[in-house]
Structure 1
Amino acid sequence: MSYDYHIGVDYHKAYTYLLVQDRGGQVLRSGKVKNDPGSLAGFLTPYLENSHAVMEASRNWTVMYDWLDELCDDVVLAPPLKVKAIADAKIKTDKIDATILAHLLRADLIPESYVPREAARALRQALRERIFFVRLRTMVKNRVVTIFDRYPEQTRALREMTDLFGKIGRGQLELLSVSTIDREHIDRAIAFIDDINQRIHASEKTIRRFSADNADVKRLKTIPGVGEFFARLIAAEIDDVTRFRSAKKLAAYAGLVPSTYASGGKCWNGRLIKTGNKWLRWAFVEAAVPAMRAEPALKFDYEHLKVTKGTNRAKVVIARKLLTIAYQVLRDQRDYECRDALERRSNLSRLS
């Protein structure tokens, strides 16, 4: 579609720099506006008919994107790294950034990012909150364990406990003979952990509320190793599986493919690519261990791969297998069946 106005948007925390071009690249208007819908509409009002805008997927991009979506005929979300690779500049200002974005938009050279649906956005926010609280709880627990270094003889048995902050572990912590200041630190840390636990439970209720009717979550939970939390995380990050033509495309999006260098007829594969969706990569890698415990076939594959590839690389391969399973489950809209069940079904069909 051909547009009359091309709008480059350089979005910041307190203000946004806007630049409007016509079909020929002539700058019609540029300048800063406050980050509120009224100021944005006032600036763009003469140029809204048959217009489209582009902005980078920066921090809290959803705010400006939604405002623009109400005003313009089309809004394009651009990945910052890819735009930078196309139009790297030695001198960087708000005006230059907005101008480059407008030029690339007019020339149809913007590598467009996917814009998740409203339900997926809300679920992602709820999931991020829980992840934050869990990581905060881990930090507090680690501070308590650090105190053990000052009492090696007393705490040797405590270091071996699998649930140090459970009922039995806390009873042992109370019996520790430590200095006054260390006792205060331990007691405050335990009280803080209890407070964080309450917030984690509250955030889990929010997550369940925002994904109660999500059929994809129910299907993903049938995959070995993928529990309640990871099923919701994977569903929210993928959102619409049809935007990936194959499982390989999804693996590249998740960052579960090796970096590749090819030159002179030779090809080298290195570590996993650094770009990609870190949340999806983390979910599948973390799910690999419980998946191997749940399904012997995956465990067999892992043990076989570990001999030649090593522990970490073999774990990544299993994570990639789980991703492929998740793609097929979501694409075909069906629950997962383990290999043994599929073989039994195949044998029954042949007998009949």
Structure 2
Amino acid sequence: MQYYIGVDNHKKFSYMSVMDAKGIVVKEGRVVNTKEAVNKFLGTEYTQNTSAVLEAGRNWTVMYDWLEEELDEVKLAHPLKVKAIADAKIKTDKIDAKTLAHLLRCDLIPEAYVPGKDTRIVKNILRQRMFLVKLSTMVKNRIHLIIDRHPELKNQIDPSDLFGKQGMEWLKLVTLPKEDKRILDEELDLLNYLVEKIDSSNSWVTQLGKDNPNVKLLMTIPGIGKFFALLIANEIDNIKRFRDKNKLASYAGLIPSVHASADKVFYGRIVKHGNKYLRWALIEAVWPAIRKDLSLREYYESLKQRKGSNQAKVAVARRLSVIVYRVLSQNRSYIVNYSGCPHNRLAEAVN
């Protein structure tokens, strides 16, 4: 007998619904999120000839790994697509688990990609470093805000060098009102702590990706250094899962929203769905990329004049995603082929 298990996974517990091949629920109930409780629910009867499905959500990897050890097959469902297929006005854990089991039995699960365990571990390490970098940027912005409250100080230091060696010394000694000085000192302490943590993570990151050929290929692209290459390579994982360059751009959330009615089509801001880590890496790589690559620089400047700097930056990030796709799918380095107008002739990796 074939069995299908729908799992509505939550932080502390999950609701499981076991269904047979005829669509009859043979067992269901709430299960505490521990490996022992899951194994007790499955017993020996529901481990053979059994497949399960759960939606991608908060810490789905824990439940997925537990089930994968015990069952023949485990699928990860795309939550937005499941909602589109089986949306309901009445929503409970019991109904959600039963719906997932039904979709699995009918082979209607819209699957989300599941990277391997090693890739997931690397992604967590890289995302932690990215989190620290974002925090340090927030702290730097707060320090800028404090200095901007005192216009008389602007001529004393170059704002672009505020966090260099000379700028940091100036921040320690600058004269401010008592309250602002105390806030500034606290921000500097926090920034120094974050910089220390980022530096310690660098040695950790450098050990990653040594045997990954995709990292070396990505580092040939302008603007993509070791960290960005590692992040992009692991967030993409297998380039073959993307049918073309547009699918990768969509996955990165670098395509515009579209509103079409009759013969009128309107393009808006970039979509909010997609891999935010991959999108962040490609957008952050724009500035070093346009400094190093003349074709990308002129492409950026051309769009900036017509559409503004923000849209130009996103457009270059989209172009970088195209280059990434070509480099990985064709398994070759990026080759600059600039001659004349770059808007008409991209680097060879894009053609």
The TM-score normalised by the length of structure 1 is: 0.90
Give 1:184's aligned residue: 182
- The residue type paired with residue 59 of structure 1 is R
Give 1:203's aligned residue: 201
Give 1:339's aligned residue: 337
Cα distance in 2 between the residues matched to 1:225 and 1:123: 21
Q: Return the offset for 1:59.
A: 0.8
Structure 2 residues not aligned, in runs of 5+: 340-351
Give 2:94's aligned residue: 95
**Partners of 1:219 and 1:329 within 8 A in 2:** yes
- The residue type paired with residue 127 of structure 2 is R
Is structure 2 residue 120 aligned with structure 1 residue 125? no
Q: Which moved more, 1:326-335 or 1:309-318?
A: 309-318
**Partners of 2:77 and 2:110 within 8 A in 1:** yes
Give 1:344's aligned residue: none
Calculate the aligned-residue CA RMSD, in Å.
Answer: 1.9
Q: Return the offset for 1:158.
A: 5.5
Q: Return the offset for 1:205.
A: 2.1
Cα distance in 1 between the residues matched to 2:183 and 2:199: 24
Cα distance in 1 between the residues matched to 2:316 and 2:284: 10
Q: Which of 165, 170, 173 matches 2:171?
A: 173
Give 1:316's aligned residue: 314
Structure 1 residues 136, 304: closer, same or farther in 2, change over 3 A?
A: closer
The 5 Å alignment of 1:256-335 reads: 256-335=254-333
Is structure 2 residue 111 aligned with structure 1 residue 85? no
Is structure 2 residue 63 aligned with structure 1 residue 64? yes
Structure 1 residues 185, 262: closer, same or farther in 2, change over 3 A?
A: closer
Q: Return the offset for 1:311.
A: 2.9
Structure 1 residues 197, 310: closer, same or farther in 2, change over 3 A?
A: closer
Is structure 2 residue 225 aligned with structure 1 residue 227? yes
Cα distance in 1 between the residues matched to 2:171 and 2:297: 37
Q: Helix, strand or coil: the match of 1:291? A: helix
Cα distance in 2 between the residues matched to 1:141 and 1:307: 29
Q: Which moved more, 1:135-144 or 1:209-218?
A: 135-144
- How many residue pairs end up in the alignment? 338
Identity, % of aligned pairs? 50
Give 1:348's aligned residue: none
**Partners of 2:304 and 2:311 within 8 A in 1:** yes
Cα distance in 1 between the residues matched to 2:9 and 2:85: 19
- The residue type paired with residue 77 of structure 1 is L
Q: Helix, strand or coil: the match of 2:15? A: strand
Q: Helix, strand or coil: the match of 1:182? A: helix
- The residue type paired with residue 4 of structure 2 is H
Give 1:346's aligned residue: none
